[in-house]
Structures are given as C-alpha cells and as structure tokens.
Structure 1
Amino acid sequence: MQARAQVLRVEGGQVWLKVADVGGGCGRCDEPGGCRSLQITQAFGAPKGEFVLPLSVPVQVGDRVLITIPDGAPLSAALASYGLATVLLVLGAAIGNGFAGSGEGDLFALVGAGAGLAVAWVLNRLLARSRNWRYRLRMELAPATACVHTLQASR
C-alpha cells in the first residue's frame, strides 16, 4: 500500500505530512459502497489531515514523498485486533456454557465471553508492545521518484 504526500514541516527528526492521494484501485473509493481501501491515512486509525513519521530520508518543506506500508500489514492488524477478539469471545462463551449447570447456561456463557474478550485485550496489548510486530506495521518514507519495489528488495 502506498500514497504520495507533501512535506509540511521537518523538525526534531520527524516530518509532518499531508497525503496527496485520494484513492486508486477501482476508482469507487469516495462513492457510496466504495471500500476506501487505499486511504493510507486510515490504515491504523481515524482519518487525519496530517500525520508525523520519523525522518528517514532528507526532505524539505514542500517536497513530495512516497509513504509505504508493507503488503499485508493492514490485514494482519485487523486479524489480530478483530479476529482474535471474535475467536476468544466465542471460545470463552462455549467454555463458560460447558461449565454451566441446569438453567444457568446464559450466565456462564456471558461470563466466559467476557473472560475471552479480556484475554484478547491483554494479548493485543502485549502484541502492540512487541518490537517485531510494530516493525511489520511500519510506514516508510521515500522520495516520490523512488521505486518502492527496489527499496524493499535492497533491505
């Protein structure tokens, strides 16, 4: 996933960027029913007009740059946050229901589902602290004229 951006400010080893791309793919990003899948500013949170990245290449205010996110990173993040929670919620409810006595199935399933969600929350917090995990979800900065595949192959 990649997008072109303009440098707004460079300060203290960080660069403030404004994304210039407004979509791609099928061209239905902003239409009703469009998936907006190429909106790089929304990949890991709420839409933002500008955001900050560590300064990894020399740039100046007004320069055009290319921002890249590794292939599969948004899917991995979504599966870890939503998939893990969903699986543990259902598994917790099933285990809780298995411990229930006569007429107490709903209560035990609810408690088990809550416990499953709590475990998912803890696991996601631990995953977010993992240096390896954060590296997989990184955003990289390159000059707008750079070939992204060449940059990734050289690592």
Structure 2
Amino acid sequence: MMSGAWGTVAALDGEYALIRMDDSGCGRCREPGGCGGSSAASFLCRAPRTFRVPNPEQRVIGERVRVRVAEGAIGHGALHAYALPLLALLIGALAGSTLADEAGAIAGAVAGLLVGWAGLRRAQRRNSDDPRFQPSIKS
C-alpha cells in the first residue's frame, strides 16, 4: 500500500525531476475519514512545496504526475522527527533533575534535545539511500 499526492514536473535535474506538489498532505485529506491536513497546511505554509524525485521514466516539464511514498515511510519519518527528539529531551530533563534539581533539568533537557537532534540527523543519513523511504513517480 502506498500514499501519494499529485504534482507537476517543474524542472529536470539529471536523473531526477523537481515536482511542485499541488496541495499539502497525503492526498486523502478530502476523503471520508481523511485528516483534513491540507487546510491546516495551507494556513501554515503558502509557498509551493517542491521535491526532488528519481525520474526513471523520463517525465517532461509540465507533466502531471502522482508522487507516492511507501505506507510505512510517513509514520517512520514522523516517529523520528517528533518522537525521538522529544523523548531525548524528556529523558535528559529527568536525568538532569535527579543530579542537580532545576538547573540540572534545564541543562539535561538541552543536552537531550541535542542528542535527539543528532539521532534524527543520523537516521536521516541512514535512510536517505534506502529505496523503501524514497518517493517515486507513478502514472
């Protein structure tokens, strides 16, 4: 199962296409049971989103395409982007609090956040070449 959204090929970059996405969200926002995320995203960000996607089928500029991502990739990315830094921050704050009260909690929270950020960067580098987490163009 894959999630996807529609976009237009805006430019070509060697083996890649730069896709300007039509709207925010997973593409199911307006369906029954969808999250309605496109409304919230358009409120927060008005700039068009552009993604660099492998282009093995040699799509041309102006062509409308569907960009898909494997079903687990979105949840996996969200877990790393939100849960990892937050969990590291909380663990750091708790550890610092046991060592040096309030000042230790603050220092531990900052240290935990930095560790969480480093973990996020490491996960991003590790998954950047994994085809399971890469978007693809589908007809």
Which is greater in Rg?
1
For 1:22 and 1:99, locate their aligned partners in 2 and report how far apart those are by CA, in whole Å: 44
Equivalent of residue 25 in structure 1, options 28, 32, 46: 28
Residues 1:9 and 2:11 aligned together: yes
Map of 2:78 onto structure 1: 78
Q: Which consecutive residues of structure 2, in runs of 5 or more, have no partner in the other structure?
A: none
TM-score, structure 2 normalization = 0.72
Distance 1:139 1:47, change over 3 A: farther
For 1:110 and 1:11, locate their aligned partners in 2 and report how far apart those are by CA, in whole Å: 45
CA contact (8 A) 1:92 1:114 kept: yes
Distance 1:58 1:91, change over 3 A: same
CA contact (8 A) 1:14 1:54 kept: yes
Q: Note the C-alpha offset of 1:50.
A: 3.8
Map of 1:116 onto structure 2: 112
Kindly report which structure 2 residues correspond to 1:142-153, keeping only aligned pairs within 5 A, or say none.
142-143=138-139
Kindly report which structure 2 residues correspond to 1:5-154, keeping only aligned pairs within 5 A, or say none.
5-20=7-22, 24-25=27-28, 27=30, 34-36=36-38, 48-100=48-100, 105-131=101-127, 134-143=130-139
For 1:93 and 1:132, locate their aligned partners in 2 and report how far apart those are by CA, in whole Å: 30
TM-score, structure 1 normalization = 0.66
Seq. identity, %: 28
- The superposition leaves residues 77-102 of structure 1 with CA deviations (integer Å, 9 ceiling, x where unpaired) of 121121011111111111111112xx
- What is the identity, as a one-letter code, of the residue corresponding to 2:6? R
Counterpart of 2:70 in 1: which secondary structure?
Answer: coil
Distance 1:73 1:87, change over 3 A: same
Q: Note the C-alpha offset of 1:47.
A: 5.0
- What is the identity, as a one-letter code, of the residue corresponding to 2:79? L
Structure having the higher helix fraction is 2
Q: Which consecutive residues of structure 1, in runs of 5 or more, have no partner in the other structure?
A: 40-44, 144-155
Structure having the higher strand fraction is 2
For 2:138 and 2:28, locate their aligned partners in 1 and report how far apart those are by CA, in whole Å: 21
CA contact (8 A) 2:10 2:20 kept: yes
For 2:8 and 2:77, locate their aligned partners in 1 and report how far apart those are by CA, in whole Å: 26
